[in-house]
Amino acid sequence: MFKGSYVALITPMDDLGKVDYTALQKLVEFHVENGTHGIVSVGTTGESATLPFEEHINVVKKTVQFAQGNIPIIAGSGANSTEEAIFLSNKLANTGIAGFLSVVPYYNKPQQRGMVAHFSAIADAADLPVLLYNVPGRTVADMLPETVAELAEHKNIVGLKDATGDMSRYKETKALVPDDFVLLSGDDATGAEFLTLGGDGVISVTANIVPKAMSDMCEAALDKRFDDVMDINGRIKQLHTTLFLESNPVMPKWALFKMGMIPCANLRLPLVTPELQSQNALEQVMREIGVIS
């Protein structure tokens, strides 16, 4: 469980800004068909910051329903309020999910001891596996390897999504946590290197666009075919960069729209569709790798 390619799935919206559940079903089936190993529903890429609780919970429920048990679903349940994170986790606990992804609290910049208390309280409250999520580029606060190691002692905390892009951080963390503690890359640009160092998989934005390539790359890594990992990554590495020309998930939504996978590229305010220059750059890369003609 929790190894391989997990897609950080977008949440499709219609012309009125409502969740488009028909498009969501199409996306989930697309990932099942293309070998994606699991889905993260309503994480950062799924616009968790702007989905009210009721809508957030319903998107997760529908994602589980559409997956039909073919692949596991991890629910984003993080918040910068511990009380809110526990509330959301409890509401999601019986939806059929395989576990939670919980981000380091953003904006209020907790101390390391505060992070330990926060995640321990979440893991105590709901008896499902919890994956920690460290993304200091968004949260400002950075969860240190020693903090991860302390949290890894909790029976319900089973892994970490590391979006620092720092390979020395991976090595430090790996040396401190149990062998069965799952380490996943949350940074597509360095994901292949993370895998060759022994990482267990990825939670990927790029997988929204090229799910088969990402699942093949992760399977090659788990089989220790590291030349294949680098070969596959070499074919899609420009996509890693262009998908982050503007704030995620602005660019992956635009890409999926151009692929005909979603009917429009709408986002929840304050995010808006990408600038023309960014659109053109992304479409050029997509044509070069054969995603669009």
- Tens of pLDDT, residue by residue over 77-117, are 999 999 999 999 999 999 999 999 999 999 999 999 999 99
Instruction: Tell me which of 3, 61, 161, 258 is the catalytic residue.
Output: 161
> 266 lies in a domain?
no
Look at residue 126 and tell me whether its pLDDT is greater than 90: no
Whether 167 maps to a domain, the answer reads: yes
Is pLDDT at 75 greater than 90 in this prediction?
Answer: yes
- The tally of domains found in the chain comes to 1
Asked if the structure places residue 256 within a domain, the reply is: no
Q: Is 39 annotated as a binding residue?
A: no
Residue 293 lies in a domain: no
- Is there a catalytic annotation at residue 6? no
Of the pLDDT bands very low, low, confident and very high (cuts 50, 70, 90), residue 198 is very high
Cβ neighbourhood burial of 270 (10 Å; 0-12, 13-18, 19+): exposed
Among this protein's residues, is 133 annotated catalytic? yes
Whole-number percent of the chain with pLDDT over 70:
100
Q: What's at 249, amino acid-wise?
A: P
Nearest to 204 by CA among 96, 85, 20, 74: 74
- Residue 82's domain comprises 4-235
Helix or strand holding residue 165 (H, E): none
Beta-carbon contacts of residue 165 (< 8 Å; ≥ 6 apart): 187, 189, 190
pLDDT over 90 (residue 239): yes
Residue 45 lies in a domain: yes
Tell me whether residue 203 is annotated as binding.
Answer: yes
Residue 195 lies in a domain: yes
| 246 within a domain of the structure (yes/no) | no
Tell me which H or E stretch contains 269.
none
Q: Residue 112: its pLDDT value, please? A: 98
How does residue 163 score in pLDDT terms, banded at 50, 70 and 90? very high
- Could you tell me the pLDDT band of residue 1, with boundaries at 50, 70 and 90? confident
Helix, coil or strand: residue 79? coil
Mean pLDDT over each residue of the chain, to the nearest integer? 97
The letter for the amino acid at 97 is I
For every residue of 114-145, DSSP letters joined together read HHHHHHHHHHHHS-S-EEEEE-HHHHS----H
CATH, residue 25: 3.20.20.70
For residues 161-174, give the mean pLDDT: 97
Catalytic entry in 6, 106, 133, 170: 133
pTM of the complete model: 0.97
Is the pLDDT score of 201 beyond 90? yes
Mean pLDDT of 7-33: 97
What is the tens place of the pLDDT at every residue in 217-233?
Answer: 999 999 999 999 999 99
Judge whether 93 lies within some domain. Answer: yes
Residue 16 CB neighbour total at 10 angstroms: 8
**Per-residue model confidence (pLDDT) at position 9:** 99
